[in-house]
Structure 1
Amino acid sequence: MLDLFCLFPEEKHISANEFRVNEGIRVAEVRLIGPDGGNVGVVPIKEALKIAREAELDLVEVSPGANPPVCRVMDFGKFIYEKAKKEREARKSQTKIEVKEIRLRPKTNEAHRGFKVDDARRWLNQGHKVRVTVKFRGREMDYPEIALEDLKEIAQDLSDVASIEVPPQMEGRTMLVVLAPSKGGAKKKEKPEQAEAKDESQA
């Protein structure tokens, strides 16, 4: 039986029991698929093994639940390598979504807020969600409308790349909003003059 792990030790996450190979296939007969993908038919296991050896390939059981089991003549090492490669690529393509956070105060100046919005835009474009929080201290709790207005403006500034997932709300002494990347990707923001021209053309 082919010692796969000697050839590909880095692929040990693939179960050795996932496939039976060559002499490890202990049945009387199999439905054989040839190296060219053609259906050879039902043959004794000894004949299937002979065909695989003559082709200098492996006999791999690909459908053990069938009656009789389906086996294919192939390069098992190459097959497992390609399978592992596809699994790695699939894992890489799965973007890990994180919830990033920007923290503000009720009286955060425009320049500092602009930097925070730029950070949020970058994270949203990377596919992450963004939690925007405004922390109140002391008597600042008496003026929640200031923070609410800030959160609304930030959500509007980012409306071309994000939608509101959790609307503005209070959690203790913190007001927050959660933004999620737009499903359709970034939308081109219209300049005020473009919007006016569009409205005039539709009038």
Structure 2
Amino acid sequence: MRPQLKQNRPEEAFRINHRIRVPEVRVIDEDGEQLGIMSTYDAIRKAEEKGLELVEVSPKAQPPVCKIMDYGKFKYERAKQEKVKRQNATQISMKEVKFRPKTDDHDLDFKIRNIKKFLEEGDKIRVVVSFRGREIVHPEFGFQLLESILKDLGDGVDVEQKPTHEGRAVSMLLAPVAKLKVKKPETVRPEEEARPLP
């Protein structure tokens, strides 16, 4: 029989309880109250009396700072926060919409509707006008088309990169405009409006 290899357990992000190897620590209780410096043994015992763990939250401090807490709940909340961060980091995607200098009106309208849809979903869009053959001798047609597209999009767009000519294409980078919260005007109740002046 082959000897079974022991699987290494992943290390905890924080040292807890008897994994804390220093003689004394600065302790914060579960309500955020400073308990001061005490021996690590006493701090662990205090945490265990409450059915909680002693967690080293600032190991480089002198002495290290530890907090009494429910470590399982703490890890769960951290995992949720990390998940939200990852979602926010990947939420904004880049789309690309391509045009030709002589795109017909129907195709133009269809693609502009798609751009508006992408902007509403929070995506960035690279709008590209590609040239073929001798079309490249008139790059101004590409600039004119991009300007026309911008006019059709109206105010709901932010131009992150102005139209530029590179190789056989003219392109620009668009992003959605951040929506501002409009404060509603205060309404006056009818009884207040009719109240006579003193």
- Equivalent position of 1:94 in the other structure: 89
- Stretches of 4+ moved more than 4 A in 1? none
Aligned CA distance change for structure 1 residues 143 and 41 (closer, same or farther; 3 Å): closer
Partner of 1:102: helix, strand, or coil?
A: strand
Match of 2:18 in 1: 23
Quote the residue 1:198 is aligned against. Answer: none
The correspondence for 1:103, drawn from 91, 98, 109, is: 98
Q: Of the candidates 17, 40, 50, which is equivalent to residue 55 of structure 1?
A: 50
Q: How many equivalent residue pairs?
A: 172
The aligned amino acid for 2:113 is D
Take 1:78 and 1:33, find their aligned partners in 2: how far apart are those partners? 17
**Aligned-residue offset at 1:103:** 1.6
TM-score normalised by the chain length of structure 2: 0.74
Per the alignment, in what secondary structure is the counterpart of residue 160 of structure 1? coil
Mapped partners of 1:145, 1:42: distance in 2: 73
* Contact map agreement 1:135 1:175 (CA 8 A) in 2: yes
Q: CA RMSD in A?
A: 2.4
Residue 62 of structure 1 contacts residue 70 of structure 1 at CA under 8 Å; is this kept in 2? yes
Structure 2: tracts of 5 or more residues without a match: 1-8, 181-198
Q: CA deviation at 1:39?
A: 2.3
Distance change >3 Å, CA 121–CA 44, structure 1 → 2: same
**Aligned: 1:149 with 2:144:** yes
Contact 2:158–2:176 at 8 Å: present in 1 too?
A: yes
1:131-146 residue pairs with structure 2 within 5 A? 131-146=126-141
Kindly tell me: are residues 144 and 70 of structure 1, through their superposed partners in 2, closer, same or farther at Cα, counting changes over 3 Å? closer
**Cα deviation, residue 53, structure 1:** 1.8
Letter paired with 1:71: C
1:162 pairs with 2:157: yes
Offset at residue 145 of structure 1 (A): 3.8
Question: Following superposition of structure 1 onto structure 2, how do residues 1-203 of structure 1 map, counting pairs within 5 Å?
Answer: 16=12, 18-182=13-177, 184-185=178-179
1:157: Cα distance to partner?
1.1
SS in 2 for 1:127: coil
Specify the code of the residue in structure 2 equivalent to 1:31.
Answer: R
Q: Deviations over 1:16-49 (max 9, x none)?
A: 2x32111111222222223333222222222222
The 1-side partners of 2:88 and 2:19 are apart by: 35
How much does 1:93 deviate? 2.6
Residue identity in the other structure for 2:103: T
1:89 is displaced (CA, Å) by 1.7
Alignment match, 1:201: none
SS, match of residue 166 in structure 1: strand
